[in-house]
Structure 1
Amino acid sequence: MSTFGALNTAYRGLTAAQQGMNVAGQNIANAATEGYTRQRVEQSSLAAPARGLFSGGPLQAGQGVSVDAIARLGSSFLDGSVRSAGAQAGYASVRSSALQGIEGVLQEPGENGISTALQGFWSAWQAAANQPSEDGPKGLLLNAANSVTDKISSAYQALDAQWSRTRAQASDSVDAVNAAAAQVASYNTTIRSTVAAGGSANELIDARAKLTEKIASLAGGTVREQPDGTVDVLVGGNALVTGGSVRTLALSGSSSDRMGSPVQLEWTDRSGVAVPVDGGEIAGALSVLAPAATPPSTPGSGGAIAEAAENYNNLAVALATAVNKVHQDGVTGTGATRINFFTVSGTGPAALNIKGPANTADVALKGASGGALDTSIADEISQLGTGPASPDKVWSGIVTSIGVQSRGAQQHESLTAAAQASALTGRASQASVSLDEENVSLLANQHAYQAAARVMTAVDEALDVLINRTGLVGR
């Protein structure tokens, strides 16, 4: 190697060390930055010039070091694990939240629950039987009946409101997926041009990775990396993002009426064709927004909210049927017979249409063949809460079923959250910045820089002697 070649070798060493210090500084500066993946300088040694067949002279050393790339120390496998765990956690979180909301509507156990109202209703019949000639106990009976029907109807309306909120949140999630997909496509275009020009796109890749994780948590998307630095994002097996191109998603179906057309996720350019999402918050929302199973099957096979609302309808029908069956055998204060105590009017949901008598004269306490003080009808109705197929048993079964589903959803949420935390920890161990490691790298590159500078100084001094002092001897 010539003397001037040694200068070039020293310069390359300075450049490589400087680049190493720059990268270490970048890592240290972003140690607390969310989503940042640590980087390292990739370098290789430059071989000595090739010797010709007839060339002579001494063997030569290499020509220094080459900075080949600034590597992003991420792992596609670990990134995929984080996205998969995030999709499952998003799905479980939405279902758990919805079922806990349904549990909150039940208000069981508690003084404001339907169980307490039913007990008060049966007790009111017994109180009316104890004082058949008084209007006061009958008035309290009507109040107890109205309390039961009001709680059934208000709970049903609360479920409708929860359905509407969940539908709106699902729509917002779809909008968020579309916005993130557009950003991913934009990053793809920038990254592809940067990589093609020989630049470093590590920070852009980090930003894009955060967006793909967001898409996965919302819609369960998968990611495929391409050789040109871009990624394809797939939802339901079809491409959401391909290079710089993006497709959009939309929610179809009723936007406010739970009894309207079913809600489903579709491609905007393929209306009517459902996208089969199996993970993410949108899939969780669709599972609870679905209609109730028809015909009724095992609990939880249909939409959680619709099935809970249908349970209130079943309770209203069971209560009206049980009470009316006995009440029709009695005689009201006006002498009327075959009168229903509860009416379920209209063609809408029974939970909203169940009503009690308007006045005490429509209450039958005695049987058709009983005397003036007969209260056999009131006594029999007061015992309806203890039968094996009583409205109380129906309600108890509803509460138990919803409680079991909610508990299972909460356990699933806990498991998926733990899996997500484990995936994030595993990736962090690979990709996060260690300040101790970066300090060692910084010191190593600092000493390398000083040593390369010393080499350059030594070569410079040797050249100074060769150029300015050769030939002085003998003058």
Structure 2
Amino acid sequence: MSTFSGLGTALSSLIAQRQALEVTGQNIANANTVGYTRQRAALSSLPASQLPSMFSTTNGPGYGTAVTDIARLNDVFLDAQVRTTTASSSYLGARAAASKLLETNIGEPAATGLATQLTDLWAAFQDVANTPNKESSRAVLLETAAAVGDRIATLYTAAGTQWTQARTQTASLVEKANTAAANIADLNKRILAVENSGSSANELKDQRDLLVTELSGLVGATTRTQENGQIDVLVGGNMMVDGSKARALAVTGAAGFADATGGADVRVVWAADTSRSAGLEGGQVAGLLSVLAPPAAGGTGGMLTEAAASYDKLATQLATQVNALHGQALTTTGAPGGDFFTFEAGRPAALGLTVAFDDPALVAVAAPGAGALDGSFADKIAQLGAAVDGPDAAWSAFVVQLGVSTGSAVSRATAAEATRASAAAQQVAQTSVDTDEETVNLLAYQRAYEGAARVMSAIDEMLDTLINRTGIVGR
């Protein structure tokens, strides 16, 4: 081995330790950067030279060290776990948020809630039963009945407004997912180009992983790594990102609440082939689609359309039961009562429920043959408030069921978010920068660099003695 080979060995160490110091400095600089994954310089020893002769041997050491890779210290299993739990948490979170908003819009129990207004309606009928001779009590009854109809219509309108907002949000999130997918495809292309040139693309991979996690929260995306280092992103089992190519999603189907209550659904499809559903299985968009779904048999449809169906059913039940008794009674003039409530043609029952007349004299509460000032039928109508199959019981059952389902949705969303947070914490523990650890590494690489420099100085002194001072002893 050449005497000068020691210089090359020391030089290789200087270069390697300097590169390792630079990697450590990069870690420290990004200690607070969101999504940054810590890196390590992988050092490998360089072997001794191979001699060409079959029987030749060398007892010399290797030729130093070199940085063979700058490793990105992530864990693919933890990354996959974070994406899966993010998709689940986002799905359940969207449903819980919609359920809580619906419960808030109903406003029960409250002094202005429908339950209170129904109670006021039965009390107004009871007042008429007690004082059938007073026109003022009949006028109050008409106003109270109109207020009940208005309240039911308001609830229906609120459900429709919430549906429209959720529909708009769905379209916005799908566009956001398309943008994220396009950016992932672009990063795939850039990462491949950088690595093919022999450089490190770790920072670009950090950006890509952040986008994939975001896409998982939106549409439940999963990934598959190609041999060349690019990743494919799958949504519903189909590729949304294939290397450097991205496929866009689109929202089709019901455009308005009337369409949804009529049975039309909102669908997320592939923009290039709108006949193919994306088949979302997780993410915030899938959660919103379940909220936007049309009503179904057994009440298993979307919560907003099911609520609208319940409002329609309540309005129909109220009108049917009151009209059945009011139609048997007589007014103060002896005329048949007819319908107390009616519906506007072409509108949902909850929106079209109105009082059939505005003249207090047309309120019929007298039993046939009992006299003009009899109020027995008003008393019978007032008793509907306590009937087990009356409107109050139906409304109470709906409110209780909504409260139970909302509590369940919130509980499931909270548990899913805790799971996601735990997975994210494990990922951060693996990938985040520990400044104490980096400080130790910094000192270690610094000392190694100083040692290599000292070796080079020692060899330089040895060579100086050999070249410049050999053979001059005694002169």
The corresponding residue for 1:209 is 209
Partners of 2:332 and 2:344 lie apart in 1 by 23
Deviation at 1:178, TM superposition (A): 0.3
The question of whether the paired residues in 1 share the 8 Å contact of 2:220 and 2:280 is answered with: yes
CA distance in 2, matches of 1:259, 1:402: 23
Kept after mapping to 1: 8 A contact 2:268/2:277: yes
CA deviations over 1:268-325 (Å, ceiling 9, x no partner): 11112222111000000000000000xx31x4x1111100111100110111011111
Mapped pair 1:112 → 2:112: yes
Report the Cα distance in structure 1 between the residues aligned to 2:358 and 2:187, rounded to whole angstroms: 68
The 2-side partners of 1:318 and 1:329 are apart by 17
Equivalent residue runs for 1:361-380 within 5 Å? 361-380=361-380
How many Å separate the matches in 2 of 1:322 and 1:272? Answer: 46
Greater shift in the superposed pair: 328-337 or 148-157: 328-337
**Equivalent residue, structure 2, for 1:13:** 13
CA gap of 1:258–1:228, structure 2 versus 1, over 3 A, is farther
Unpaired stretches in structure 1, ≥5 consecutive residues: none
What is the SS of the residue equivalent to 1:373?
coil
Distance 1:460 1:329 in 2: 120
> Hey, what's the Cα distance between the residues in 1 that align with 2:367 and 2:344?
26
For 1:336, the equivalent position in structure 2 comes to 335
Q: TM-score with structure 2 length normalisation?
A: 0.97
1:416-435 paired onto structure 2 within 5 Å: 416-435=416-435
Q: Pick from 260, 274, 278: which aligns with 1:275?
A: 278
- Equivalent residue of 1:50, what SS? coil
Correspondence 1:241-280 to 2 at 5 A: 241-260=241-260, 261-280=264-283
Aligned to 2:259, what secondary structure does the other structure show? coil
Q: SS at the partner of 1:252?
A: strand
Q: Do the aligned residues in 2 keep the contact of 1:168 with 1:255 (CA within 8 Å)?
A: no
Counterpart residue number, 1:464: 464
SS in 1 for 2:67: strand
Task: Tell me the distance in 2 between the aligned counterparts of 1:270 and 1:332.
Answer: 64
Of 389-398 and 465-474, deviating more is 465-474
Matched, 1:284 2:287: yes
State the distance in 1 between where 2:27 and 2:258 align.
Answer: 51
Is the 1:164–1:258 Cα contact (8 Å) retained in structure 2? no
Residue 265 of structure 1 deviates from its aligned partner by 0.5
**For residues 158 and 459 of structure 1, what CA distance do their matches in structure 2 show?**
85
Look up the match of 1:140: 140
Looking at structure 1, the residues matched to 333 and 226 of structure 2 have their Cα atoms a distance apart, in angstroms, of 84
In terms of mean alpha carbon deviation, does 175-184 or 190-199 score higher? Answer: 190-199
Stretches of structure 2 that go unaligned for 5 or more consecutive residues are: none
> CA contact under 8 A between 1:195 and 1:228: conserved in structure 2?
no
Conservation of the 8 A alpha-carbon contact between 1:83 and 1:213: yes
Distance in 2 between residues matched to 1:262 and 1:67, nearest whole Å: 57
TM-score of the superposition, structure 1-length normalised? 0.97
Give per-residue Cα distances to partners, 1:118-141, cap 9 Å, x unaligned.
Answer: 000000011112221111111111
Contact 1:187/1:208 (8 A) holds in 2: yes
Task: Kindly report which structure 2 residues correspond to 1:24-173, keeping only aligned pairs within 5 A, or say none.
Answer: 24-51=24-51, 52-55=53-56, 59-173=59-173
Corresponding residue SS for 1:6? helix
Q: Secondary structure at the match of 1:66?
A: strand
Deviates more, 1:398-407 or 1:253-262: 253-262
Q: Which amino acid aligns with 2:54?
A: L
Identity of aligned residues (%): 43
Q: Distance in 1 between matches of 2:258 and 2:88?
A: 26
Aligned residue pairs, count? 470
Alpha-carbon offset, residue 217 of structure 1: 0.4
For 1:401, what is the secondary structure of its paired residue?
helix
Q: Distance in 2 between matches of 1:258 and 1:455?
A: 83
User: 1:258 Cα deviation (Å)?
Assistant: 4.0
Q: Secondary structure at the match of 1:3?
A: coil
Matching residue of 1:325: 324
User: Match of 2:36, SS?
Assistant: coil
Deviations 1:16-72 (A, max 9, x none): 11111111111111111111110000111111112433436x610111002101000
Between the aligned partners of 2:439 and 2:99, the Cα distance in structure 1 is 50
1: distance between equivalents of 2:220 and 2:45? 44
User: Secondary structure at 1:364's aligned position in 2?
Assistant: coil
Q: 1:367 is paired with a residue of what secondary structure?
A: coil
CA contact (8 A) 1:163 1:258 kept: no
Bigger Cα displacement from structure 2, 151-160 vs 354-363? 354-363
Counterparts in 2 of 1:7 and 1:334: CA distance versus 1, 3 Å: farther
Matched residue type, 1:284: G
Task: Deviation per CA, 1:250-279: give whole Å up to 9, x if none.
Answer: 000133334253210100111122221110
SS of 2:330's equivalent in the other structure is: strand
Within 1, Cα distance between the matches of 2:15 and 2:255? Answer: 61
Relative to 1, partners in 2 of residues 1:441 and 1:338: Cα closer, same or farther, differing over 3 Å?
A: same
> How far does residue 334 in structure 1 lie from its aligned partner after superposition?
4.5
State the 1:212 CA deviation: 0.4
Cα shift readout 1:426-448 (whole Å, capped 9, x = no counterpart): 11111111111111100100100
Structure 1 runs (4+) greater than 4 angstroms displaced: none
Question: How far is 1:338 from its partner?
Answer: 4.7
Equivalent position of 1:189 in the other structure: 189
Partners of 2:177 and 2:218 within 8 A in 1: yes
How far apart, CA to CA, are the structure 2 residues paired with 1:95 and 1:267?
A: 24
Partner of 1:351: 350
Q: Are 1:9 and 1:63, in contact at CA under 8 Å, matched by a contact in 2?
A: yes
